[in-house]
Structure 1
Amino acid sequence: MACVDFVELATDFLEGALPDDAEWHFIEHLAECGGCERNLDQIRQTIATTGELTPSSISSDARAQLLTAFRDWQRQ
């Protein structure tokens, strides 16, 4: 599995939505690729952190910056 494929499947993996064969390839790649392992850890940390946010817990400027960062990540 290529890293780009791994990234595309990460959300489905975390949600338990991958077919068995795709999950096997995903886990196999994860065991061999430190970069993808770090990426998956970052996704898990992001989910945990943003899951604690409420609209009233951050300023409107911080919210705007977060939204911009998520929208623009592929352009960088």
Structure 2
Amino acid sequence: MTSNGRIIPGGISCREVVELVTEYLDGALSDADTERMEEHLKLCPPCVEYVDQIRATAQLAAVAAVELELRPDRDTLLRVFREFKAGG
């Protein structure tokens, strides 16, 4: 499929990849949409890099959440982070 003379691998655009990435990584896409996404990723290195970055971010966030729950100083860490984020 083409758009403005450009080939769109798998029939979905890079913008659609961005919109669908969370559902894709969660395994929540239909079989047809998963197939289209994977076809796009076979031919679009920038989208592969984007999906890999989102996957890594999600994994790091999950590890951080578990780490915070396991640490007895969780409340202190959260307070310090909020103060840092607020500029204080």
> Quick one: structure 1 residues 21 and 51, their matched pair in 2 at CA, closer, same or farther if it must change by over 3 Å?
same
Say if 2:21 is the partner of 1:23: no
> Quick one: structure 1 residues 2 and 11, their matched pair in 2 at CA, closer, same or farther if it must change by over 3 Å?
same
Q: Which has the higher strand share?
A: 2
TM-score by length of 2: 0.63
Unaligned runs of 5+ in 2: 1-11
Identify the residue that residue 32 of structure 1 maps to in structure 2.
43
Say if 2:37 is the partner of 1:8: no
Identify the residue that residue 46 of structure 1 maps to in structure 2.
57
Please identify runs of 4+ aligned residues in structure 1 that moved more than 2 A: 54-65
The share of aligned pairs that are identical, in percent, is 32
1:20 is displaced (CA, Å) by 1.1
Q: Which has the higher helix share?
A: 1
Q: For this pair of structures, how many residues does the alignment match?
A: 65
TM-score by length of 1: 0.71
Cα RMSD (Å) of the superposition?
Answer: 2.2
For residues 21 and 52 of structure 1, the distance between their equivalents in structure 2, rounded to whole angstroms, comes to 31
For residues 38 and 58 of structure 1, the distance between their equivalents in structure 2, rounded to whole angstroms, comes to 31
Unaligned runs of 5+ in 1: 66-76
